[in-house]
Structure 1
Amino acid sequence: MTYLTITYNQRDALLLQKNLQVLSVSELFTEISTKKCLYTIPGLVSRSFQCLTSIQHDGISSILNDAPPLWIKYGIKSVEEPPSIINAKNGKLIRASFGYLATNVTYSWIKQIQIPNRWHSLEWKTDASRKYVAVTYKNDNKIMELRLTQECLDKYFMVSTHNTGKYIVILPLKTTPRCCNISLDRRQKYQRILSFKGIDGVCLSDCSAICLQFENKKSLDMCTIFLQNIMKLDCHFGPINCIEAPNQTLNFDDTLSDFWSSYAFQMLLTLGYRIKNQITELTLRKIYQLSDVSRDEQYPKHQCYLKLLALYNKVRHDRFCDINQEIDKIQPILPSTMLDKWMYVPRAYLTPYGFIPLPIKPIRGNRVLREQELFGPPENYCRIIIRDVDLGQPQQDLMRISEEWIKNFIVGKNFITIGNRQFFFLLCSNSQLRDKSFWFHAPYFDCTAGDIRKWMGDFSHEKCVGTHIARMALSLTGTTPTIKLLPHEMECIEDKVDSQGRIFTDGVGKISPEALRQALMAYDSNLIGEDYMPCVIQARLNGIKGVFVLANDLKDRGVLIQYRPSQNKFKVDHNILEIIKHSSSGMAFLNRQVIVLLENMGVPQHIFLKLQNKARLNISMSLLANKSAQRTLEQNVRSYDWERMRTSGIQLTKEPFVRSLLLLLASERLKKLKEKSHVQIPLSDGRMLLGVVDETDSLEYGEVFIQLRDLNGQCEILHNRKILITKNPAHFPGDIRILNAVDRPALHHLYDCIVFPAKGDRPHPNEISGSDLDGDEYWTCWNEDLINNATEQHIPASFNSAEKEKHNDEITISTIADFLYKYFLSSDSLGVLSNRHLAYCALHGPNHEDSLNLAGIISQVVDFPKTGVPPKVPTNININRYPDFMENKHRESFESDSSLGIMYRQVKDVWKMHLQWQNTFEEQNIIINPDLIIEGYADYIIEAEEDYKYYTSRINTILSIYNLENEYELITGCHSCAEEERQNNDSVETASLEFRYLVQEMRNKFGKDELSYTAQLRKASACYYVAYKAGTILSFGWIMDRLMSAIMKRKQIPREEHQALKSIGTALYNQGLSTQIREQVSKWQIDDANWMNYSETEVLGDQFLKIIEQCSRTHEGVELANEYLRILHKIAIKKF
């Protein structure tokens, strides 16, 4: 049995109708879902068939003989893992060309490389461990190499059948490939370069496909097998004509009428030759005309921006889109709803090849941005993110050849041009520094970036360049302004210090109840309840940074803030309290560094496996049991009343919209288990908490106070319990402390934070990774298994930072440029050193001398921005073998017998099974549930369709801006975009916020109609019907989730008891495992007290789960628990 997929352009559908009819009526072919056979190609249509007998290309060609041009693919998607050892392949190329796919049957090249003589060679080669294909050009003693990685290539490639005897492959690109020189001497020295044998950066960045012509068929076949089996790309055969692209004669340098038009047009042009070489003079004239019409409009209602953004979104995802046809058809995207207290600032990537504007999205404002009368509106700023040519994080190899380029931008020799505005370097916040991103500013009247830096405050006393920059950057921290304080409402009080001058109160101030109430009302009034408000805020005030803690001793003094010298960083007159975040208790997770240190403290392997097994059990059960699904959804998706939906009779694990959310959450949680050992600690056993200090002197050294508040407002004080405490990342053996949680009445006004004592030989936060209390969050855990076994408490490391490097002369912008460049070079070593430390710990343990040395150097790297002293990276601490759980592609790996190794291998098997199922999972048709359709719903269909159109357009815009695959990624926060994009500018937070605002907008609109309750139910039912009939953006049907729950509840459908146990039991019977399970019940002495009212299959299902739970508790049962959890997850995904 084989599979056949035909892919074609939609405009050819009518011409293909007869040929497809032949396949459809043939007894040899059965049409199936395309998802099993290939990845979807935007802009093209695919149809897949299952063939009862093996088929030859010639046989299919005869059926499609008179058909218009199309692509043919054989087989299903390649999802199996390749063999662990695969020999490298290589062969000769006749030519390599760089261009774009003009249509699905035409490849246009701009430049090409051919072999000039026999002393030069053009070849292809593969690297299976790092999963890339390279094009190499050999000349004398050097090899130029252009690497085509999985991240760089699209999910498919084409083998041209146009010219017999020419062995051609076309590789569509997602990003620009990297180039390097490799010397042929013994050292095999690798050096990054920014061009490839005459193909310059402009051509490399503008081309969106590469064409390789192989010397012979054998060479082509070897390469295509590698691309399919190792790189997991779909292979299509099609008559693609490779031609030289016509010369581009249009001038794109003319400035459009206004800034927003220019910004959007430059964004469109970054899509490269497929825009620049195809756009006609008529289309260009239409863009200029639209710009003229929009010249007086502003974001977000600027029509030219909205139209060009719609075009950009369309063309970016559909490489076959014809912009000249699309410009008249496409509708401008709907204007975004402006989020309250957020700002909309241009943002762009800056690569060695150019400037890439990105769609506008909200960011939190800051002190500088809010001074619009002085420095201009938000569009006078631009967030510049430095990236490599493939938009990945720039590493040392690029940094070493980019010193002049980077420094010229910082000192102002180079600038960014958008339309008629020139943007110059301003500064970067502390978080931006780590991400290699900056603020740029365009002069506003006579005000320049230099003037803004002077306005920020007086930093003349700070002679350490790193600290100087950090102090200036405090003005750029994302904050929300609240109350303005008068001079008498701010007081300086003394810090509390130990005998060596270490500060117990480092970063902590006090705030009166009235001041806190007023500030929180301005920040977010929803945080304040009748008897509750957060008790800690992290904030900025003048030149003061840190946290302010509710102080009951100030309740009779009105509005008052007391700050400490440790908080006061510089002089400035800006007495508005700006809040960054407030106290709350978040979920705590185990991670690899914490597991290594806990194992070193005596925790045995089966304890970690027990916690991981519980996490795995929760993941699988969330797909099987409605109650488990509810818990998972409540923790991750808070826009809906999940309990109400479940208790109304809605089957969460079967409902198509909810089921898709659960599947995505399950995939994300399994992936984090495999890649990071990210094991959730139950909320009853641990939290992430802001650290504060005991102002009442109630706590002794070794004690902490923790009071937690649940969603129902109930408080629990941890009393007479040992607590494990650390701060991420943790590297030293003593970074995890064991302290005693006690109850102290004087601290009862503090909750959802951890209170440390102000007494003792040394501040506890300083013992924990050398941290302080200016906003640090602490990992706190009181899980009994971990506490009872972590018996070896290690001495805390001494965290004495290197003496700050002083700069006695004036700190100028050139000084800042030198420092930032040095920082970029050193910061790249942080990830390398952390990985090396983890590998050393896996081999030798955290107490080994080399592990301790690496931990110390990592601490120096972290402190570099404060001290200005670059760390000395050791040359004598190297590692040639990495543990398997690190999945290192560049070094030999070994099977680690540590807890991390065992945890990794157990979950890897499940992840592999899950991924294979996910890649071939055939999405079922969306079925409308008749129980949710009520009489009279049809009266509201037209209105619901209008609302659906608006909502869908808004959702699709958000998806495009944040580069998300679907609405489920948006709603869950499980973003599939690159890690750098997830981390940069709070993308997950702002995307989620935009979704919540949209849902609230739709709910408000629904309420404005002032319908009767019966009419509301009918309209909600109509919304559900419209969304499910369309089969996409199903969340529209659940905007009024409470009304939908009410509809279901009225049906009074009896709920099926123990439906998950029944599903599990039935599957176990079908697999012939019932006898084995009964034997294990006897062996493990499973209690049968609760089985009186269960059916036989339900009993079997419950026995199975109890065996997993029982086996997870002991070392002897680990393997059986793992095997049964694999079976359980297979049942869970097969159920879908």
Structure 2
Amino acid sequence: MKVEFVEKLRRNCSSVTFVISCSRAIELRPTKNVHGFFRYRNQMSGRSRGVGQVRFREENVASRAVDLSNEGRFLLYNQQLKFTLLDKKLQHAAPTCCRLENCTIHVGCLTAKDRMLSLWNYQGIVELELDLEEQTLSIHLAFTSMDYRLEFPLSQIRQFAPVEVSGRNQGLLTQIGEIPPYLYRRPFSPSQTDDKYVDVFLNGCLPRKLEKSDGESWRKGWVRTTDFTGSNAIGQSSVYVVELDCSEHRHDILSLLQQTLSFNEVPRSLQVEEVVYSEASQVAIPMWNPENFRVPFGILYKVNSLIQYGKLCVPNLEERFCRLISSGNESTIKLALQALSDEDGCHDPARFLRAKLDEMKKVAPPGVKMKQGMAWIHRVLVTPSKVYCIGPEMEQSNRIVRQHEDYTDRFLRVQFVDEDCSPLTSTALTSDVRSGHTEIYRRIKQVLKEGISIGSRKYEFLAFSASQLRESQLWMFAGKRPPPGSDKPAVTADSIRLQMGDFSQIRNVAKCAARMGQCFSASTPTRKVLPLQVKRIKDITVKTDGVTYCFSDGIGKISQDFARSIAKTCGSTGRIPSAFQIRYGGYKGMVAIDPCASSAFKLYLRPSMRKFDSCHFSLEVLDYTRVLPCFLNRQVISLLSTLGVKDQVFIDLQKQVLKDLDHMLEDDALARKVISCRESNSLALQMLDNGYTSRTEPLLKRLLCVFRDAEVQELRAKAKIFLPKARLLIGCIDETKILKYGEVFVQVSGASYAGGSYYSAQDNVENRDRTTVVTQKVFVAKNPCLHPGDVRVLQAVDVPGLHHMVDCVVFPQVGPKPHPHECSGSDLDGDQYMVSWEERLIPPSVDDPMDYSPPAATVVDHPVTIEEIQEFFLNYMTNDNLGVIANAHVVHADKEKSKARSEKCLELAHLASLAVDFPKTGVPAIIPQELRPREYPDFMEKEHRVSYISSGVLGKLYRAVFTTSFDAQTFSGVRMSDNIVNIFDEDMGVPGYEKHVESALSHKTIYDMKLQQLMSHYGIREEAEIIGGHVLSLSRIFARRQVDVLPKVRKAFEALQAEARSWFYARGFGKVDGEEEAKASAWYHVTYHKDYVGRRNSIQLLSFPWTVAKVLLKVKRSAGRNNDRQNGVGSSEADGYGPPGKRQKL
């Protein structure tokens, strides 16, 4: 938005203030003439729909704003804003409160449209509070010497309507979605406490929003809490009815709320039945376990999931339903139950399930063969008032799950989240001054101590990995006793921990927990390595200023022959990776190929890699060196800007990215080059390589659209700018001792950027083995990076003795300090470094690195107990401030004149170092109040916070995204609901396809059903999002965990593709020449031909035939050659990009 338009509005409309808040939307904060602004957001994605409402105090001011709009005087990111008057006025922004005497609140669920089961009720004085600015509806009541507040987000209210309660009184029915209300409590009279300091704190505690003004006393004193009903009714309920007495104010109250919320004035009849339905002793609420029926665990788990999501009501699960789920094929029943996920609510589940089972008899789904190294894992989310059973989800297995593969379904991931599945803040756990902790904290502690019961199984605390700790997540296990008379030992959480290794010598609680978690790293099992095949070698160290530094911290070596064998096991194709990230017994870190290493030993391990003693001798691989694209981000941009890189450099780089993205659909060659530099083996790239275009193939167009949408979204939200002259590389050490301090060796392969043009590893055979040795200055950084000294400028040199090291950055083993340590205090145990040789980004100066010496760790005088590990988990949740520190750093680096060199930023960088080390040291990072931002730049899109228009480089980049010519609605092109009947590729017709059409149609029905259920489970709207791996839409359960969720989505889709391929190649199919092509043609035919499109499903899913893309592309190539011969066109070699040869220098 141009500043002159803001000033014009201020002059004409008396201090109306505009603040940039999000994509294509603005916020008018309440001022003299403006009450407030409401954004309309997409319910699925949470993103702005580009429409809002502004409330003015005076009609003439509103009219003036409309006039200025009609004159084209309002611009936002070079786009005109249009103001129109509404038919009716918006209500005042101040909360609307209604005090109701002698009313009754019923809490329960609907067992039919006109019947409610009340699990708990309250009689007395109730206050309803409607806050349109915060978009909440709250119920206040006094109960057991406390005031309680139930806060409902308006976005989660499915229905708000008047009802006639049991034929006696009128009432208000509130039916909510999946999210239960946020619960708060406070003493009856918070101002009458004995301790004046406690009183001051209580009157300063604010629920959820910390920026409320002191004048709003109605918010004061509230503290987050858990279910207070005594029967856990809130966690089991989706309907709240406020029954009014016959007071004369009843009509006025209904009229006021009707004006605001626009519900139907005519009440409907509602019969309320009160029952005693208590599960007060169970932590996991709601959890259903039918008596007198033996329901398979997988089915019971699924039914409970449907109950928790509000799709089923427990009283409706009658005997007929229990009989159906207790017998029959378990896979078929679970698939039929999954169909309930798309229903708003089912009051007769037995009838629904019976119909689905009858329907599925016609297309019985084949079983899924699990890929080696994968596992189906159940997951439970624990919120302050209820739990959610999720999955099972396919994911990469770990050492412990593989060792107990017969008990896979007895492992459970448990995660603690807020009611909307966002992370729990520290204030939600520690706001209660008197006791130090809230009821939410005590609830989590109870779950850790008592576990979770599902059916007859009791899951108990096991351990957690480092990544799980950051996500407030852990592992539980349901022990299994051997049958009577068996000599097999019981498998319990305790017995599993004993088998993991010896942790008794680790006397720091945080470090002990981290070492246990090492066993739970997702990995691929490879080969057994006996102790005699392992050689222990020394670490490489130096002592500088009294401090000992380890150059080889976390890295060893591997013989070339053994590396070749495990590369095949890991599924690595082509070049043998130069290094592998591994777990071996109690060892962790990297092993790099050393051509000089004797083949008598398979592994060469260093003391810095040894973390604990273990008898596990299988080598597990977590990652390996490969082509990884590199992107700038906010932190790196901020530091480079601080070090003197001009703003225009970043603007030009982003401009080029946007230009390429804007022309992808028009230029297939450009699309191919753009994608090849980011994704080396995507379906879109294979299509483009084989003659498909976005103008003729709808799935390709969808894939390109989603790719483009995802890239633009990352630019807007993270300033994630693709760098052609850069890579994300795993760090290794120079075993040749040739590199000097200040030097690195960088050799990259695959899609690269040389001489101003892209080339792809798939252009021709020679390019697949092409490598590039960088011989110029590079900057090296590792995320997270907050200190200006975290960016190192080094000289990349060519060392012939290191030419076997590809797609990694090799650091020297000499100097006063290891270069990895200078980069955010990193090491070589698998850390990935951003390495760029883009000349414009090399800063003219660098700062000294920060001192990353960790604080002294607290030790105990006894072996660490499991109770101490549980306590550490809670302490981490309470003190996890890394995200808050990083956000504060972004704000101060944007506002301060000296940017990231400012005192505030330097202090935050130190605190971030403490926070990163907290999982290993147990020493928390405490943020001083003066470092907490009071306002945020526009590019951070902080809702309900004071914002300002950033004049820094990040603000310029953010706003520049919206000046592109891109039009989201036009570009998105073909979507799932669009008609594709006129797009059928005649080249895909193969003689003999007709005999395969019937089976193809049957398999497509099953495939589409499973794909839709996968999409429904994760809340994904577009099929192309799954295929391309660029998921733009996730349900609230998963939206805040994208890094963890996206690999699971990919693995689940890969499993579905593998299952479809097993149908294709069933019973030795394909031995007759041309049979494969004919069957693939039939699969294409039932997907694309107008006679079949939309026959069984209004949503047009296109990926089914592309599960056998190899065969389809073969058909396409064959048709292309035939067309060339018919047209007299000779063959020609594929065009190459870049000079010939296998190695070049930059």
Of residues 568, 582, 591 in structure 2, which corresponds to 1:548? 591
* Secondary structure of residue in 1 paired with 2:324: helix
* Secondary structure of residue in 1 paired with 2:1049: helix
Question: Contact between 2:743 and 2:812, CA under 8 Å: does it hold in 1?
Answer: yes
* Secondary structure of residue in 2 paired with 1:799: coil
Of residues 922, 944, 967 in structure 1, which corresponds to 2:1000? 944
Structure 1 letter corresponding to 2:1120: K
Question: Contact between 1:208 and 1:274, CA under 8 Å: does it hold in 2?
Answer: no
Of residues 152, 156, 166 in structure 2, which corresponds to 1:153? 156
Shift of 1:205: 2.6
* Secondary structure of residue in 2 paired with 1:572: coil
Shift of 1:552: 0.7
Shift of 1:882: 1.5
Question: Contact between 1:167 and 1:215, CA under 8 Å: does it hold in 2?
Answer: no
Say yes or no: does 1:124 pair with 2:167: no
1:340 maps to 372
Say yes or no: does 1:1038 pair with 2:1094: no
TM-score using structure 2 length: 0.75
* TM-superposition CA deviations, 1:147-202 (whole Å, max 9, x none): 3337x627x65667999998967554132231223687673423444457x75683
Say yes or no: does 1:512 pair with 2:553: no
Structure 2 letter corresponding to 1:177: P
Structure 2 letter corresponding to 1:123: E
Paired residues for 1:702-721 under 5 Å:
702-710=742-750, 711=761, 712-721=767-776
* TM-superposition CA deviations, 1:382-412 (whole Å, max 9, x none): 22222223333222233332343333443x4
Shift of 1:144: 3.9
Unpaired runs of 5+ residues, structure 2, are 1-39, 45-80, 192-199, 207-221, 244-250, 278-287, 431-437, 482-489, 751-760, 762-766, 1126-1146
CA distance in 2, matches of 1:367, 1:1015: 42
Say yes or no: does 1:967 pair with 2:1038: no
Q: Mean alpha-carbon deviation: is it higher for 736-745 or for 664-673?
A: 664-673
* Secondary structure of residue in 2 paired with 1:1038: helix
Of residues 212, 219, 241 in structure 1, which corresponds to 2:256? 219
Of residues 394, 409, 415 in structure 2, which corresponds to 1:379? 409
CA distance in 2, matches of 1:238, 1:636: 58
Say yes or no: does 1:189 pair with 2:205: yes
2:840 maps to 785
CA distance in 1, matches of 2:137, 2:837: 49
CA distance in 1, matches of 2:84, 2:845: 41
* TM-superposition CA deviations, 1:91-114 (whole Å, max 9, x none): 4376776555667x6574636878
Structure 2 letter corresponding to 1:599: S
Question: Contact between 1:143 and 1:181, CA under 8 Å: does it hold in 2?
Answer: yes
Question: Contact between 1:98 and 1:204, CA under 8 Å: does it hold in 2?
Answer: yes
Provide closer, same or farther for how the CA distance between residues 799 and 81 of structure 1 changes in structure 2, counting only shifts above 3 A.
farther
Q: Mean alpha-carbon deviation: is it higher for 325-334 or for 639-648?
A: 639-648
1:604 maps to 646
* Secondary structure of residue in 2 paired with 1:330: helix
Question: Contact between 1:648 and 1:1048, CA under 8 Å: does it hold in 2?
Answer: no
Structure 2 letter corresponding to 1:1025: H
Paired residues for 1:277-292 under 5 Å:
277-288=315-326, 290=327
2:24 maps to none
Question: Contact between 2:236 and 2:386, CA under 8 Å: does it hold in 1?
Answer: no
Of residues 1120, 1124, 1128 in structure 2, which corresponds to 1:1049? 1120
Shift of 1:356: 2.9
Provide closer, same or farther for how the CA distance between residues 40 and 610 of structure 1 changes in structure 2, counting only shifts above 3 A.
closer
1:811 maps to 864
1:318 maps to 344
1:468 maps to 512
* Secondary structure of residue in 1 paired with 2:317: coil
1:434 maps to 470
Q: Which has the higher helix share?
A: 1
2:734 maps to 694
CA distance in 2, matches of 1:494, 1:251: 57
1:1021 maps to 1081
Shift of 1:687: 1.0
Structure 2 letter corresponding to 1:857: L
CA distance in 2, matches of 1:336, 1:590: 40
Question: Contact between 2:579 and 2:593, CA under 8 Å: does it hold in 1?
Answer: yes
CA distance in 2, matches of 1:106, 1:1048: 62
Structure 1 letter corresponding to 2:1003: D
Provide closer, same or farther for how the CA distance between residues 1053 and 409 of structure 1 changes in structure 2, counting only shifts above 3 A.
same
2:894 maps to 842
2:878 maps to 825
Paired residues for 1:60-459 under 5 Å:
87-92=93-98, 98-100=107-109, 106=114, 108=116, 110=118, 116-117=124-125, 121-128=127-134, 131-137=135-141, 144-149=148-153, 153=156, 157=159, 170-181=174-185, 187-190=203-206, 191-194=222-225, 202-209=232-239, 215-216=252-253, 219-220=256-257, 223-224=260-261, 241-244=269-272, 252=290, 256-272=294-310, 274-288=312-326, 290=327, 303-304=329-330, 306-308=332-334, 310-315=336-341, 317-319=343-345, 322-331=348-357, 335-372=367-404, 377-400=407-430, 401=438, 402-410=440-448, 412=449, 414-445=450-481, 446-459=490-503
2:195 maps to none
Structure 1 letter corresponding to 2:300: S
Shift of 1:489: 1.3
Structure 2 letter corresponding to 1:286: L
Structure 2 letter corresponding to 1:575: F
Structure 1 letter corresponding to 2:554: G
CA distance in 1, matches of 2:964, 2:345: 35
Provide closer, same or farther for how the CA distance between residues 322 and 740 of structure 1 changes in structure 2, counting only shifts above 3 A.
farther
* Secondary structure of residue in 1 paired with 2:124: coil
Provide closer, same or farther for how the CA distance between residues 363 and 641 of structure 1 changes in structure 2, counting only shifts above 3 A.
closer
Question: Contact between 1:381 and 1:441, CA under 8 Å: does it hold in 2?
Answer: yes
Shift of 1:600: 0.3
Q: Mean alpha-carbon deviation: is it higher for 653-662 or for 485-494?
A: 653-662
Structure 2 letter corresponding to 1:689: L
* TM-superposition CA deviations, 1:270-302 (whole Å, max 9, x none): 3448421333332233333x1xx6xxxxxxxxx
Shift of 1:632: 5.0
* TM-superposition CA deviations, 1:31-77 (whole Å, max 9, x none): xxxxxx99999xxxxxxxxxxxxxxxxxxxxxxxxxxxxxxxxxxxx
Shift of 1:210: 5.1
Structure 2 letter corresponding to 1:964: I
Paired residues for 1:546-625 under 5 Å:
546-554=589-597, 556-625=598-667
Q: Mean alpha-carbon deviation: is it higher for 180-189 or for 866-875?
A: 180-189
Provide closer, same or farther for how the CA distance between residues 815 and 319 of structure 1 changes in structure 2, counting only shifts above 3 A.
same
CA RMSD of aligned residues (A): 3.9
Of residues 650, 657, 660 in structure 1, which corresponds to 2:699? 657
Provide closer, same or farther for how the CA distance between residues 872 and 397 of structure 1 changes in structure 2, counting only shifts above 3 A.
closer
2:4 maps to none
Provide closer, same or farther for how the CA distance between residues 404 and 658 of structure 1 changes in structure 2, counting only shifts above 3 A.
same
Shift of 1:693: 0.5
* Secondary structure of residue in 2 paired with 1:889: coil
* TM-superposition CA deviations, 1:440-489 (whole Å, max 9, x none): 12223334222222222222222111111111221222222222222221
CA distance in 1, matches of 2:468, 2:922: 17
Percent of aligned pairs with the same amino acid: 26
Shift of 1:747: 0.3
Of residues 744, 766, 790 in structure 2, which corresponds to 1:735? 790
* TM-superposition CA deviations, 1:889-917 (whole Å, max 9, x none): 24311111001111112325669963799
Paired residues for 1:42-53 under 5 Å:
none
CA distance in 2, matches of 1:647, 1:541: 41
CA distance in 2, matches of 1:854, 1:960: 41
CA distance in 1, matches of 2:1115, 2:505: 63
* TM-superposition CA deviations, 1:526-557 (whole Å, max 9, x none): x243xx20111000112111000000111x42
Structure 2 letter corresponding to 1:831: G
Paired residues for 1:723-762 under 5 Å:
723-762=778-817
* Secondary structure of residue in 1 paired with 2:548: coil
Provide closer, same or farther for how the CA distance between residues 737 and 82 of structure 1 changes in structure 2, counting only shifts above 3 A.
farther
Q: Mean alpha-carbon deviation: is it higher for 632-641 or for 355-364?
A: 632-641
Provide closer, same or farther for how the CA distance between residues 666 and 640 of structure 1 changes in structure 2, counting only shifts above 3 A.
closer
1:902 maps to 956
Provide closer, same or farther for how the CA distance between residues 243 and 688 of structure 1 changes in structure 2, counting only shifts above 3 A.
farther
